[in-house]
Structure 1
């Protein structure tokens, strides 16, 4: 299972958000991970250990390479 993620990636989480989606955008990384629901815009901050445990996969990579 690929657990590599970066700022701006869209990730799939184990549990569905009450708004009906389980896709989240990573908006901050560090000791804590801040994610934003792609459905309703709700922002949640999780400890890195809990985030890595609950993340299922990366849906979409943020490919903003400096060109």
Structure 2
């Protein structure tokens, strides 16, 4: 699964605040996720995130070209 830092993931279960969207802050064996609703951060094992993933929303790459 190709998940990158900055992507938004939608998981099966909602956070107690009501949001099911999480921003990926760190990847590796564990993921650091930040709730889009309340800003709470959690560490979750990669296997659990990949199992509970419903939707992957890519963050738009910013165009950093300088136009002359």
Structures share a fold, TM > 0.5?
yes
Greater RCO (CA < 8 Å, at least 6 residues apart): 1
1:40 has 2:38 as partner: yes
In the TM superposition, residue 5 of structure 1 has moved relative to its aligned partner by 1.6
Alignment of 1:7-18 (within 5 A): 7-18=5-16
Unaligned runs of 5+ in 1: none
Distance of 1:34 and 1:21 partners within structure 2: 16
The alignment yields a C-alpha RMSD, in angstroms, of: 1.5
1:61 has 2:27 as partner: no
Unaligned runs of 5+ in 2: none
In the TM superposition, residue 40 of structure 1 has moved relative to its aligned partner by 0.2
Runs of 4+ in 1 over 6 A off after TM superposition: none
Scaled by the length of structure 1, what TM-score is found?
A: 0.84
Determine which structure has more spread, i.e. the larger CA radius of gyration.
Answer: 2
